[in-house]
Structure 1
Amino acid sequence: MCGITGYIGGQSAPTLLFDMLERLEYRGYDSAGIAYLAGGEIRLPKDKGKVSQVRAKLKPEKRQSHIGVGHTRWATHGVPNQVNAHPHADCRGEFAVAHNGIIENYENLKTQLIEDGHVFKSDTDTEVIAHLIEENYEGDFPSAFRKTLTRLEGSYAICAVSTKHPDKILVARKESPLLIGLGIDENFIASDAPAFLRETRKAIFLGDHQFGEVKKDSVKLYNLGDGSPLKPRVEEIEWELEDAQKGGYHHFMLKEIHEEPAAIKNALRSEPALSEIAGKLSSRKRLIFVGCGTAYHAGLLAKYLLESKGVYAEAQVASEFRYSGINTLDSDCAIIAVSQSGETADTIAALKQAKKKGAYTASIVNVSGSTITRLTEDVAYTYSGPEIAVASTKAYIGQVTALSVLSFLVCRQKKKLSDERFKLLFEQLKRLDDKLRQVLEGDGIKALAEEQAGIKKFFYIGRNLNYPTALEGALKLKEITYLHAEGYPAGELKHGPIAVLDSDTTVIALLQNTYLNDKMNSNIQEARARDANVKSVGVGGAIPVPEVEDELTPLVNIVPLHLFAYYLSVLKGLDPDKPRNLAKSVTVE
């Protein structure tokens, strides 16, 4: 949820730390700060607000320093303010830490530390880490750091610096991502690769239960359990710097929506991996897709695609699946995890429990080297590239494309889809990018957003394959406009939601190309009879899209919904890239 940065080398640490934080701001923007060493002291410029606001207010670049850590926050413990902003220091100001995660036993630790004479300044769980290092320190910084880690319960990615050891940054990871970017006589630390892509594409992905020592010219990693040294594995980040820049667009979200045609092409690169996964799924009795938010909607669509051909499948919200569905698993089950970041905490927890039950695990992920890719037996990448806007768009297109291919492959192997039909669908998928461009090139969506700017309530309705699309369209609208928006099965409108329809309500109806449109038209008339404003999405609809095979309508129908949410957000004077209270990678449970 939060973003961590670290730097050690010959450049200005304050400048680089804030540069990197600005590239990670999609991970949280309640408050921001850095801790750097200067004149034998730790300087801690930090405050409430977005990174650019804090940077402009505090002007830390005036100080000369070549080592430090930074943090942009999504609050979990303690309200967003200057005191609770990270990094945090110990009583004597000799140690400073930046932390992403949740320390579950922090209250007990804090009580013990206060009894031992430590004075706390903030309400955060993170501050206990700095005081524990101080308590454990006997001249050996790595030893004190490791002792501290053994007392922490919960999840963390941690960077720590010390005035007594100005030549190193200590790092650790448990269930929260942390990477080390490798330079020449300088090294970088971050929660996500876009932070240092400008400087290097060589990186070490810190593993779970590992800690390390980062100097400007070396990196040493250790096993937290026994302290044994580990050989760092250097990987090349495939993303380009340009992928993480706006490229002339006003917002990352608009750029990423316009990258959706390419997202289809890129996801199709995973066909060999998807074919291998499909072979293993075909022999399982239960196929279960798990994910959170947008990724859950993609998994739900996969369920509908499979079941429309006669293959049983389930889709579960990962945070709930852990408490109920997990108890029904065995070796005849397959869990397919869907995640953009590969670091979604609830999905990771569900996977770990599924593995204990002997279930086969696979994943559909965008970020290589992430935790979920290491947990699952097989992985298919979507190759969507960095997605900086908090609300997912092109990554969803990549997930739906990959899951569509996977579903078609499974159905063909189970003789539920003919070779001819499979070939037709796959060939149309390969040409679908042109269809999406047609939608993007139209100018009707912006005009529609202007027309709807005064509406307060939105309902998105769909049937069968387009019910998940309705959920996703509603989610996008509520995420970035803060308006009331709900997605419903169209047939359920009359079973409750119709009670709130009036002239201040817009119903967006998603059409397919089958007999279902007759039923959808009935639902549309029901809404209009209650004075609701109805807009249909589909061939010949008020929001027209190109004609495609029924199975592919979710991919074309979602594009205008993404654009509609974006334009409405901008019209309201909001920042669609950074909606309030949200963060890109949800790494806490």
Structure 2
Amino acid sequence: MCGIIGRIGRGEAIEPLVTGLENLEYRGYDSAGVAVRNGAGIEIVKRSGTVDTVAEAIDGADLGGSLGIGHTRWSTHGPPTDENAHPHTCATSDVAVVHNGVIENHAALRARLRDAGHEFTSETDTEVVPHLVHEHLDRGLEPEAAFRRAVDELEGSYAIAAICDGATAIYAARQGSPLVVGYAGDGYFLASDVPAFLEYTDTVTYLEDGDVAVLRPDGVRITDRTGTPARRDRQTVDWNAGEAGKGDFDHYMLKEITEQPTSLAQAIEGRYDADTGRIALEDLDSFADVERVVLVACGTSYHAAKYGTVALRRSGVDATAILANECSLAAPPIDEETLVIAVTQSGETADTLAAVDWAKRHGARTLALTNVVGSSAARETDQQLFIRAGPEIGVAATKTFSSQAVLLSLLAHRIAVDSTGTSGLAHEELCRELERLPDHVSSIVDESTAASIATRYHGRDAYFFIGRGYGYPVAKEGALKFKEITYEHAEGFASGELKHGPLALVTPETPVYAIFTGEEDGVTRTNAAEATTRGAPVVAICPPGHDAIELADAHLAIPDVHPILSGLLATIQLQLVSYHAASLLDREIDKPRNLAKSVTVE
């Protein structure tokens, strides 16, 4: 949630700042703004609305200067207004600050500052920060020392970037919210996510909790809170600007759906052998001492975790998926024989990171399944498995879900073999199917009739999704995608649960999407038939020739493959249905209301 960009170096800062905001708009898009030090002070332009609104306002502003900061917001404290947009300043406008996260003691700090004569103009927690910095400047501290002193007074989670009039520097601090430094030929960048500056550089350093960074035209210095130098390695990001762009597509989401043959090929490359039926994952330590697995995740990643749970149980491993935000209250008992897998696309999801911390304190072994090499989850877990999906900009996750699900399926086999000596999965058959998986996905993308089906059932009262086994988490994910970007009522159920309450909502205006994976399909067919007797149209997602087609009113075809991959292929059809349904409704598909890509507060 929310995006930060900063730039310092040779030349004008405003163009890369606006580019960074445009690249980060998936992290927040209800308001945006920039602050540039132009030699005569700090000039600020900020507006409620999209980055385009701010860009138009910038055209008439005096924003020359070689250093600045920017922000695109997803509201937490206060509604999206001009006043609540970042950057925020002190009364004299000689300090400007942008911030992600939540400052938990902001009310107490605001009250103290008000008593000292400070006046506030917004409802945000962020506004206390520039006032604190200004207070310490007034007491005679240099800008860096004033910034450090202000940060010391904060409680909560934050990524902060600040500039001060008269100081040729950007000051930054991280605690529980991501920040990354970029090294370009003509200067330095600071951002909450790499795509912000990817067209300028792919060389980065990820800040860690407690880090304070000072960016100057001649270099970057990273220390801990006390000022002690902190060694943070530079890394080369294995993404490119083209991957982060929209290209010729109308929406990032459609681009990312069509990228799945490539992203899945990257996810499985070198991790299995089709000739021998061997699943490798050789970078991971043995799981011989693992007695049980608990997967923690949120949102789409939780549905991938549920998919992985089915694969683990089919492999003979005791496994449970739990929402990360419920972990400390509802998780099963864990100990040193428990493997906790954190499934998180960004590696920065606050609830999932909190669950990892909780698991470590209880002695569990931890593993991150994530897309971002330098993310907090990757750094804070014992082992890491990267999904290699490349940048995903659309808020509604697509290619990351499929990559997470397929890697959890491979991981299930590896854990089972290590811990029990055998696996319930037919891994030789699975490996043969993996060889053809990218081609299967390509055929679905090229030949799908999802657009016509979305048109056929446009404007209905509600949309239900049902599935069994691997089809159940796919049904949940299909419904989530639909509601995320269409804003229409959609629900996903285990097939057998339809008659335990939800059937009361089924009418001729309630299309039911039924997922058939090749496991106990007769039960799902029976449940779908119950919907048809109430007049509901049924869309069968199944291979050609499947007997469910006779029952159904429409058919979305998937290849006849191993059940563990059938669910993945059904997911892609449902992603396309959601996309086309949202397009018919003229929704903001890449930027659905009230949602942001990376939820970095609990």
TM range (shorter): over 0.9
Aligned match of 1:162: 164
Shift of 1:269: 3.4
Please tell me whether the aligned partners of residues 405 and 426 of structure 1 are also in contact (alpha carbons under 8 angstroms).
Answer: no
Tell me the equivalent position of 1:323.
Answer: 329
How far does residue 281 in structure 1 lie from its aligned partner after superposition?
A: 3.2
Residue in 1 that maps onto 2:143:
141
1:511 to 510, 513, 516: 516
Contact 2:284 2:383 in 1 (8 A): no
1:329-368 equivalences under 5 Å are: 329-368=334-373
DSSP 3-state at the match of 1:24: helix
Q: 2:468 pairs with 443, 449, 463, which one?
A: 463
Determine helix, strand or coil for the equivalent of 2:511. strand
SS of match in other structure, 1:101? strand
Does the Cα contact within 8 Å between 1:270 and 1:380 map onto a contact in 2?
no
Do 2:43 and 2:63's aligned partners in 1 also have CA atoms closer than 8 Å? no
Q: Which 10-residue stretch deviates more, 441-450 or 342-351?
A: 441-450
Tell me if the contact between 2:448 and 2:557 (Cα under 8 Å) persists in the aligned partners.
no
Do 1:278 and 1:406's aligned partners in 2 also have CA atoms closer than 8 Å? no
Instruction: Give the drift of 1:459.
Output: 0.7
Which residue in the other structure is 1:312 paired with? 318
Q: Could you tell me whether the CA contact under 8 Å between 2:36 and 2:64 is conserved in 1?
A: no
Distance 1:253 1:561, change over 3 A: same
Q: Could you list the per-position Cα deviations for residues 335-358 of structure 1 after superposition, in whole angstroms to 9, with x for gaps in the alignment?
A: 000111000000000101111111
> How far off its partner does 1:573 sit?
0.7
Is 2:507 aligned against 1:497? no
User: Of the candidates 149, 152, 168, which is equivalent to residue 150 of structure 1?
Assistant: 152
Query: Could you tell me whether the CA contact under 8 Å between 2:34 and 2:69 is conserved in 1?
Result: yes
- 4+ runs of 1 displaced by more than 6 Å? none
Map of 1:190 onto structure 2:
191
Which amino acid in 2 is paired with 1:230? A
How far, CA to CA, are the matches of 1:337 and 1:60 in structure 2?
A: 47
Contact kept in structure 2, 1:181 and 1:202, CA below 8 Å: yes
Q: Is the 8 A contact 2:315 2:424 kept in 1?
A: no
1:15, distance to aligned residue in structure 2 (A) = 2.1
Aligned partner of 1:536 in structure 2 is 540
1:308-361: CA deviation from partner (whole Å, max 9, x where unpaired)? 2332100010000122327x2211111000111000000000101111111000
| 1:24-173 aligned within 5 A | 24-59=24-59, 62-137=62-137, 138-165=140-167, 167-173=168-174
CA distance, structure 2, for counterparts of residue 127 and residue 120 of structure 1:
7
2:380 and 2:158 map into 1 onto residues whose CA distance is 18
Distance of 1:355 and 1:317 partners within structure 2: 17
Counterparts in 2 of 1:275-286, with a 5 A limit? Answer: 275-276=281-282, 280-286=286-292
1:444 is displaced (CA, Å) by 1.1
For 1:173 and 1:73, the matched residues in 2 are separated by 17
Contact 2:298 2:323 in 1 (8 A): yes
Asked if residue 568 in structure 1 is aligned to residue 581 in structure 2, the reply is: yes
**What's the offset of the Cα at 1:416?**
3.9
- In angstroms, what is the RMSD of aligned CA positions? 1.6
Tell me the residue number matched to 2:296.
290
Matched residue pairs, number? 584
C-alpha distance in structure 1 between counterparts of 2:280 and 2:586, whole Å:
42
Q: Which residues of 2 match residues 225-236 of structure 1 at below 5 A? A: 226-236=226-236
Contact 1:270 1:402 in 2 (8 A): no
Q: Secondary structure at the match of 1:209?
A: coil
Q: How does 1:356-435 map to 2 (within 5 A)?
A: 356-413=361-418, 414-417=420-423, 421-435=426-440
Q: Deviations for 1:159-185, whole angstroms, at most 9, x for unmatched residues?
A: 1000021x1000110111111111224
How big is the shift at 1:283? Answer: 2.0
Q: Which residue pairs with 1:17 in the alignment? A: 17
Rounded Cα–Cα distance in structure 2 between residues aligned with 1:212 and 1:550:
49
Report the counterpart of residue 592 of structure 2 in structure 1: 579
Deviates more, 1:381-390 or 1:180-189: 180-189
Secondary structure at the counterpart of residue 47 of structure 1 = strand
Identify unmatched segments of 5+ residues in structure 2: 273-278, 550-554
What is the TM-score with the length of structure 2 in the denominator? 0.94
User: Are 1:8 and 1:169, in contact at CA under 8 Å, matched by a contact in 2?
Assistant: yes
Q: Which residue of 2 aligns with 1:250?
A: 250
How far 1:39 sits from its partner (Å)?
4.0
User: Contact (CA 8 Å) 1:169, 1:215: kept in 2 or not?
Assistant: yes
Q: Which amino acid aligns with 2:208?
A: G
AA partner of residue 113 (structure 2): L
What is the TM-score of this pair, normalised by structure 1?
0.96
The equivalent residue for 2:561 is 548
CA distance in 1, matches of 2:270, 2:302: 20
Query: Does the Cα contact within 8 Å between 1:361 and 1:377 map onto a contact in 2?
Result: yes
Identity over aligned residues, as a percent? 40
Q: 1-side partners of 2:523 and 2:471: how far apart?
A: 13
- Within 1, Cα distance between the matches of 2:334 and 2:314? 24
Distance 2:189 2:141 in 1: 25
Conserved? CA contact 2:252–2:394, under 8 Å:
yes
AA at the equivalent of 1:292: C
AA aligned to 1:575 is: E
Q: Compute the displacement of 1:277 (Å).
A: 7.4
Superposed CA offset, 1:398-454 (max 9, x none): 1011101101222334244379x3122122112211111111111411111111112
- Aligned partners of 2:564, 2:427: CA distance in 1, in Å? 11
Rounded to whole Å, the distance in 2 between the matches of 1:512 and 1:204 is 43
> How many Å separate the matches in 2 of 1:289 and 1:418?
19
Q: Is the 8 A contact 1:274 1:406 kept in 2?
A: no
Distance 2:107 2:271 in 1: 48
